[in-house]
Homo-oligomer: A and B are copies of this chain.
Amino acid sequence: MATAFRTSASTRDRMIAEARALFAARGFYGVSIAQIAAELGLTKQALLHHFGTKERLYGLVLEQIAEELADLKGALEPGVDPARRLQDWVVAMISDTPPRIERSRLLMREILDNPVRAESAGSWYLKPFLDELVMMLRSVPGWSEASDAQLRATVVQLLGAVNYHAVSGPTFRGIFGAEAAQAMNGIFAAQLQHMLRAVLTAGPGA
């Protein structure tokens, strides 16, 4: 009972990957399961066969992203200086690969839509990840006595700065032109680390 379904797992993965791309591009309400299926050369019933409902498919996409975030933080060696770890994490979050951009877009959309969509379960995918960031920040010298609210506000700020870049890329390409956007891209990683360093060394605010 543990054999077979070689290609089937692959098809399932292709479905989730395509759903991830389309949900990231157009949002949950902006894509129909028929459109996702059409992109794969299938009918929507093939999708419904595997996932039952559109919500469940979307949930699996979020689950995949949550796993990626967990892997991403696990890849950071835990021994070193915590400020350095935060910096490494930022670097790891910034690669401009398509899956990474989709991830940022989906997270942003999830944050926007979650209070509205019925099954709010999706948001809990984010919580452990946020808690981990807060813990990381607390172990930075000078931040150990900051309040939870302060730490969380700083983490949210940092997340905003990191994700906004990936999300706004295409729009700013439209506004400023392709080469200007690419120049911004090249600078952004250094700029972001610069900001991170400034914030961390300044310590928590009033």
Q: Which residues of A contact B (CB under 8 A)?
A: 25-30, 105, 108-116, 120, 123-124, 126-127, 130, 147-150, 152-154, 156-165, 167-168, 170-176, 180, 183-184, 186-188, 190-195, 197-199, 201-202, 204-206
Contact = CB atoms under 8 A, between A and B. Distances in A.
Of the candidates A130, A148, A188, the one having the most CB atoms from chain B within 10 angstroms of its own CB is A188
A69 to B, nearest CB: 14
The 8 closest A-B pairs by CB, nearest first: A160-B164, A194-B205, A149-B183, A115-B170, A198-B198, A29-B29, A29-B30, A198-B202
A123 B171 contact: yes
A176 B152 contact: yes
Q: How many copies does the complex hold?
A: 2
A164 B202 CA distance: 21
A7 B106 CA distance: 42
A130 B29 CA distance: 29
A135 to B, nearest CB: 14
Contacts of A167: 108, 111-112
Contacts of A28: 30
19 contacts: A26-B29, A27-B113, A28-B30, A112-B171, A114-B174, A115-B170, A115-B174, A126-B175, A147-B183, A152-B172, A153-B187, A157-B161, A157-B165, A158-B161, A187-B205, A190-B206, A194-B199, A195-B199, A195-B205
